[in-house]
Structure 1
Amino acid sequence: MKSISQRIYEYGIVPVVKLEDAGLAVPLANALMAGGLKCIEVTFRTDAAEQAIRNISQECKDMLVGAGTVLTVGQIERAVAAGARFIVTPGFNPTTAGYCVEHGIPVFPGCSDPASIEAALELGISDLKFFPAEPSGGLPMIRSLCAPYTKVRFMPTGGVNDRNMNEYLSYDKILACGGTWMVKEDLIRERRFDEIERLTRNTVMNMLGFELRHVGINCTDEGQAFQRARRAADLFGLEVKAGNSSVFAGKAFEMMKSETCGEKGHICMAVNNLDRACAYFSERGVRFVESSRKYSDEGKLKVVNLEEQLGGFVLQLVNK
Structure 2
Amino acid sequence: MNELLREIESIGIVPVISLKDAEKAEPLAKALCEGGIPCAEVTFRTDACVESIRRMTKACPEMLVGAGTVIMKGQAEEAAKAGAKFMVSPGFNHEVVEYGIGHNIAVISGCSSPTDVEQAMKYGLHLVKFFPAEAAGGVRMLKSLSGPYSGMKFMPTGGITEANMGEYLELKQVAACGGSFMVPENLIEKGDFITIREMAKKAVHEMLGFELAHIGLNMKNRDEAMLAAGMFESVFGFQKSENDNSIFAGSYIEAMKSPFFGEKGHIAVRTNDAGRALSYFKRRGFSFREESAVYKMDGTLGAVYFREEIGGFAVHLVQK
TM bracket (short chain): over 0.9
- For 1:290, the equivalent position in structure 2 comes to 290
Q: Which residue of 1 aligns with 2:51?
A: 51
| Map of 1:141 onto structure 2 | 141
Alignment map for 1:152-231 (pairs within 5 Å): 152-231=152-231
User: Aligned partner of 1:56: which letter?
Assistant: M
Q: How many residues align?
A: 319
For residues 152 and 235 of structure 1, what CA distance do their matches in structure 2 show? Answer: 53
2:316 counterpart residue number: 316
Per-residue Cα deviation, 1:39-65 (whole angstroms, up to 9, x for no partner) = 011001111100000111112212110
SS in 2 for 1:297: coil
Whole-angstrom distance in 2 between the partners of 1:120 and 1:36: 30
Q: Secondary structure at the match of 1:129?
A: strand
**AA in 2 matched with 1:108:** I
Partners of 1:239 and 1:190 in 2: CA distance:
55
Structure 1 residue aligned with 2:272: 272
What is the letter of the counterpart of residue 250 of structure 1? Answer: G
**Distance in 2 between the 1:264 and 1:108 partners?**
48
Q: Which whole-Å CA distance do the structure 1 matches of 2:235 and 2:101 have between them?
A: 63
> What's the CA shift string for 1:269-308, capped at 9, x where partnerless?
1111111111111111110011101111221110100001
Superposed structure 1 runs of 4+ greater than 2 Å apart? none
The offset of 1:96, in angstroms, is 1.3
Q: RMSD value over aligned CA atoms? A: 1.0
User: Any idea what the Cα deviations from partners look like across 1:221-272, whole Å, max 9, x if unmatched?
Assistant: 1111111101012222211111111110001100111111111111001111
Q: What is the CA-CA distance between 1:103 and the residue it aligns to?
A: 2.0
Q: Which residue of 2 aligns with 1:32?
A: 32
Q: Tell me, what secondary structure is at the counterpart of 2:316?
A: strand
Corresponding residue number in structure 2 for 1:256: 256
Report the AA paired with residue 289 of structure 1. R
1:126 is displaced (CA, Å) by 2.0
Structure 2 CA distance, aligned partners of 1:48 and 1:263? Answer: 54
Q: Distance in 2 between matches of 1:59 and 1:294?
A: 37
Q: Distance in 2 between matches of 1:297 and 1:63?
A: 32
SS at match of 1:194: helix
1:181 and 1:300 map into 2 onto residues whose CA distance is 29
Deviations 1:166-192 (A, max 9, x none): 111111110100000111111111111
CA distance in 1, matches of 2:62, 2:218: 40
Counterpart position of 1:82: 82
Matches within 5 A, 1:42-121: 42-121=42-121
1:81 & 1:41 partners in 2: Cα distance? 16
Structure 1 counterpart of 2:305, which letter? N
Identity, % of aligned positions: 45
Residue type matched to 2:252 in 1? Answer: A
Deviation by residue 1:186-234 (Cα, 9 ceiling, x = unmatched): 1111111111111111111111111110001111111111111010122
**CA distance in 1 between partners of 2:155 and 2:81 (Å):** 24
SS for the counterpart of 1:217 is strand
Are the aligned partners of 2:29 and 2:59 in contact in 1 as well (CA < 8 Å)?
no
SS at match of 2:285: coil
